[in-house]
Amino acid sequence: MQNKVVIITGASSGIGLALAKEFAQRGSKLVLAARSSDKLHDIEEELKKHGTEVITVTTDVSIERECKNMVDTAVEKFGCIDILINNAGLSMRALFKDVELSVLKQLMEVNFWGTVYCTKYALPYLLKSKGTVTGISSIAGFVGLPGRTGYSASKFAMHGFLEALRVENLKTGLHVLIAAPGFTASNIRKTALTNDGSQQGETPRKEEKMMSAPKVARHVAHAIQKRKSTLVLTFVEGKLTVWLKKWMPRTLDRFTYKHMAKEPNSSFQ
């Protein structure tokens, strides 16, 4: 990964920030994007102190022109793009019967269309470098999770888009990775949207028992280096869930319901 130009969206916290630090340690040149200019500035200053070549671009991935500007800025600075990591994302926690449709639209705009916009404008440069497009997805992209209809829909859509992109480019040298970390200790649950679009504010899960964001980042970087097509992390909530989806779908439905119902203040029991 030495001197590879890596774009990471949603880089101001959680898995995105961990990915930035991981690729910095591997000697990559970084283009970090997120909505928070202040956080990006602090991260840029910290990484530069350790000798990393890095620029930050304030970007809302749900806005097409901002995604184009991010890519244009990256190419203007570094001349090429080797890796695009579509990490920016939103979650939700509400039953479909209670949620406002604007919440689902917002999730699709960020999780799905954000991936599409960034990939569209970066693709010409990635084809030239025979580089990598990565989507940081979720087990919710393999299994519909109750209370997360919009989130699951957006991740299923991401999967379909990236799988089709992979097949279209079987002979071009483009590498496409779908990475599903499972439940990861990050702030995505704190910022998850409730039925009216307000942020949840606190996580319903025990974050300390989850896989850490730095560990996820190491796995993702390794999968990119090995040019894997799919990465599913954790056993019970990851690999076993995907296996049950294929071979015992009704059993998985019951397992998923019981597992998700254990969350504090769950909207279903």
In a domain, 246, yes or no: no
Across 207-228, average pLDDT: 88
Given 117, 121, 125, 151, the catalytic residue: 151
DSSP string, 148-193: -HHHHHHHHHHHHHHHHHHHHTTTTT-EEEEEE--SEESSTTTT-B
Please give the model's pTM, rounded to 2 decimal places: 0.90
The helix (H) or strand (E) run that includes residue 6 is strand 5-9
CA distance 179 to 19: 13
Q: What is the pLDDT of residue 105?
A: 96
* Centroid of chain to Cα 224: 14
Neighbouring C-beta atoms of residue 199, cutoff 10 Å = 11
In a domain, 169, yes or no: yes
Catalytic annotation present for 151:
yes
Give tens-digit pLDDT for 223-242. 999 999 999 998 778 888 88
The answer, yes or no, to whether residue 205 has pLDDT greater than 70, is no
CA distance 121 to 7: 12
Greatest mean pLDDT range, 153-157, 182-186, 250-254: 153-157
In a domain, 251, yes or no: no
Give the end-to-end CA distance of the chain in Å, rounded to a whole number.
Answer: 47
- Angstrom distances, CA of residue 170 to CA of 119, 127, 161, 166, 216: 17, 11, 15, 6, 27
In a domain, 218, yes or no: yes
In CATH, what number is assigned to the domain containing residue 97?
3.40.50.720
In a domain, 250, yes or no: no
CA distance 234 to 254: 20
The answer, yes or no, to whether residue 114 has pLDDT greater than 70, is yes
Give tens-digit pLDDT for 75-106. 999 999 999 999 999 999 999 999 999 999 99
In a domain, 78, yes or no: yes
Q: Please tell me whether residue 29 adopts helix, strand or coil conformation.
A: strand
Burial class (CB in 10 A: 0-12, 13-18, 19+), 204: middle
Domain range enclosing 86: 5-238
The answer, yes or no, to whether residue 203 has pLDDT greater than 60, is no
Beta bridge partners of 106: none
Structure letter (DSSP) for residue 139 = G
- Angstrom distances, CA of residue 83 to CA of 29, 50, 192: 10, 21, 27
In a domain, 150, yes or no: yes
Across 181-209, average pLDDT: 66
Please count the structural domains in the chain.
1
Q: In which order are the strands placed within the sheet that holds 54-58?
A: 54-58, 29-34, 5-9, 83-86, 132-136, 175-180, 230-232
Greatest mean pLDDT range, 128-132, 199-203, 262-266: 128-132
In a domain, 33, yes or no: yes
Percent of the chain with pLDDT over 70: 91
Taking alpha carbons only, the member of 146, 139, 98, 180 closest to residue 262 is 146
Q: What is the pLDDT of residue 211?
A: 84
pLDDT category of residue 189 using cuts at 50, 70 and 90: very low
Q: What is the pLDDT of residue 226?
A: 97
